[in-house]
Each structure stands twice: as C-alpha cells, then as structure tokens.
Structure 1
C-alpha cells in the first residue's frame, strides 16, 4: 500500500508513519504546494491531506486530477463532519480522518480506504473495469473508452448504485482547474451510454446526478 501524506509541519506525517511501522514503501510526506506534482509522478492508494483549509480550490482540483483513482482523505480536527463534507466533497474528497486519533483507528481507516483502490478489477453486475489497463467490458464484450469516459465510469462503479452529482463527477474526472462544465459531463454520459449499449446502465436522477442501475433494473426498464 502506498500512502502520500500532504502536511507542512510533519505532525500528520509522523502520526501516519507511527501507525504503519515497517510499512514498505514507507508513507511519503510532502508539502501542500508539491502534492499534485508528487501524486502525478507516482501512483498512491491513499492521500492524507492535513490542514486541508490551506489548499485553495485550484490546488484541490489539481490534486484530484493528478490521480482520479487515489483515495483523498481530509485530516480534520473536531467532529463536525457535516460542515467539512459541505466544504470539500464537491472537490473530490473521498473521506475524513478525525485528528489526532489512536494509531489503531488511523491504520484501520487508511486500510479501509486503500481497499477501495487496490485490486485490478472492479465489477458492477456484467460490467467489468480493468484498472491496470483502464479498459471496460460488458458481458464479455470489450468497450473502447477514452481517459475521461473511463474515469467517469469508474467513479459511478465505485458509487455502487448511489447517486453521484454532476459537480462531483466534474471535480473527480476533470479537476476544478480544467474548463469543464456540467454540459461536458452530460455529453460524456451520453457517449458512455451509446458505447455500453442496451439495456441502459446509467440512470439520470433529475436535478441530482447519475447512478448505475443494477442489471435487473435495467432489463425491467428496457
């Protein structure tokens, strides 16, 4: 498991390192300004962002765009996760760590996040994503996708049937530093639907976003 800790004063880096004694490779610690470059240069399973308020919207967008598959965890002080979710979820944050915390809890939460990224295959009924090759297949048929189409489809698969908003898809797949609009997301969804074929897998939830249907729901709707 590869862990990147984004921290200026190394407090969070030390806590994460102490939670994973002997971990190989050892957790890497970088400053906020170097985070996106470091993430783009090497794959990481989990990115722990300490003092997340220090990151600008553009920095969050660059971090998300550097590796859409990495799990971004905001390390926050206090328990008001509702406030934090409203502030950062639209930027592509996947979860939160309450700091400081017991090393066993920290280790368990980071490992749980890593399990969402490790493994070469992701499944949603007859749909299979091959993460290493960034390819998709449906019922054994290869589906040719470009990078953005694959990234968007992976976000929907990981959501496991729950609704993902257009803003979150834009943040996760394009990053807020790119000039992508909700219209771009909508057009990419349309292309994905054509490529995935019938019955339709991607459902539009009016006024909210998109989700993947289960096969039984798709066949019933066709």
Structure 2
C-alpha cells in the first residue's frame, strides 16, 4: 500500500492501522513524494488525499491511471458534496471516502480494492493441507488452527497465492514489509523458519537454493 496524506499524524495513523491488517505500507506526505515512490514501486492500492501540497492529488491520480497498471486508488477528501465525489471518480479513482472517517471502514475498503487489484482468488487459499482465510486472517493445517503473527500470515498467504511457483526472498520482503526494511536483513529467512515450526510436520515450505521459497 501507499498512503499519501499531508497531515502527518493522520497519515501515520492510517499506515499503522493498515499494518495491523498485515499490509506492507509506505507513506508520502506530498504529491511529489508520492510520484517518486510510484515511479519505483508497484502498489496494489494507493490511499490518496485529494488536497495535497507540491503536486495536487488529482494530478497524482491521473498519473496512476495513465500508467495503465493495476493500482487501485482510494481517494480521501474533506469535500463531501456529490459533485466533488463525482469529480474524483471521474478522474479514475476506484473509491472515495469523505473525512472524517472510521479507520475500520477505510481498512475494509482497502481490502475490497486489494481483491480487485489482483486476479480473482478463492475466498480461502488452500494447498498441501493448509487453509488460509484472508478475510478472517485464520490459518489451519489439516484442520488444526495455527496462530500466526501478522508477518508470518502475510508471507504464508503470498506463498499460497503463488500457486506452486517459487517466490524470492526479495519479493516476500517487498510484499510483506515496507520500504524502510533493510534489504540485507535475514527477516524473511527467520519468518519462514518460524512458519515451518508452527505449521508442523511434514514440512510444506520448500527452499529452492538461490531462488526462493515454494509450497508444492
């Protein structure tokens, strides 16, 4: 996710709430910084304040739409009039939320947009005896409930979504953590190690030397 909001307290609160939902979140406090991050990172959803300094939120939205990618835009604004909402959607925004708003509603809308930003997937991800319910954030191994941390859940979900393909440590780092993580960290290896221990025997997460991880 990318959160673009010039009120830093609100931006940080949104980011922290979404991180609790197991999203990897970057933050930009003006439109220019947002465009810079969009130029180097691929985001599933951008939570975008409309009235931004330096580069207006409308121009950021246009840039996202013109890029032709799959990024979804949730536009935030204090303008509640119907004409303002219509104008925002006409720019290409996928959803529109008026300030003030409840963080729980924002998170629900982000979850909905995330489902639209990736190819359709079954409500429950299943493979090798593992069942992951992304909505409830529940994991079962052969019917046994497996309690996981947010990062463990995010890594496992990405491996299941790969449908047997190998996912590199770099990809997992990008999708489950934010831009501030040290690219040379061993956090992915440690998280996978903890996942294996919690999921139990027989092991289902395979290491492909020099490539990454997979669940066959």
Report the TM-score, using the length of structure 2 for normalisation.
Answer: 0.51
2:158 equivalent to 1:155: yes
Aligned length: 141
Task: Give the drift of 1:207.
Answer: 0.4
Report the TM-score, using the length of structure 1 for normalisation.
Answer: 0.49
Q: Which runs of 5+ in 1 are unaligned?
A: 7-31, 44-52, 68-73, 79-94, 98-109, 214-222
Conserved in 2, the CA contact under 8 Å of 1:166 and 1:182?
A: no
With over 3 angstroms needed to count, the CA separation of the structure-2 counterparts of 1:77 and 1:184, relative to structure 1, is closer
Q: Which runs of 5+ in 2 are unaligned?
A: 22-33, 48-63, 72-114
Conserved in 2, the CA contact under 8 Å of 1:174 and 1:180?
A: no
The correspondence for 2:209, drawn from 168, 183, 206, is 206
Root mean square deviation of aligned Cα? 4.3
Task: Give the drift of 1:111.
Answer: 5.3
With over 3 angstroms needed to count, the CA separation of the structure-2 counterparts of 1:111 and 1:96, relative to structure 1, is closer
With over 3 angstroms needed to count, the CA separation of the structure-2 counterparts of 1:66 and 1:185, relative to structure 1, is farther
Conserved in 2, the CA contact under 8 Å of 1:65 and 1:172?
A: no
- d(CA) in 1 for partners of 2:45, 2:190: 19
Task: Give the drift of 1:190.
Answer: 0.6
Superposition pairs of residues 121-132 of structure 1, within 5 angstroms? 121-132=124-135
2:27 equivalent to 1:33: no
Three-state SS of the structure 1 residue aligned to 2:4 is helix
With over 3 angstroms needed to count, the CA separation of the structure-2 counterparts of 1:127 and 1:111, relative to structure 1, is same
Task: Give the drift of 1:126.
Answer: 1.4
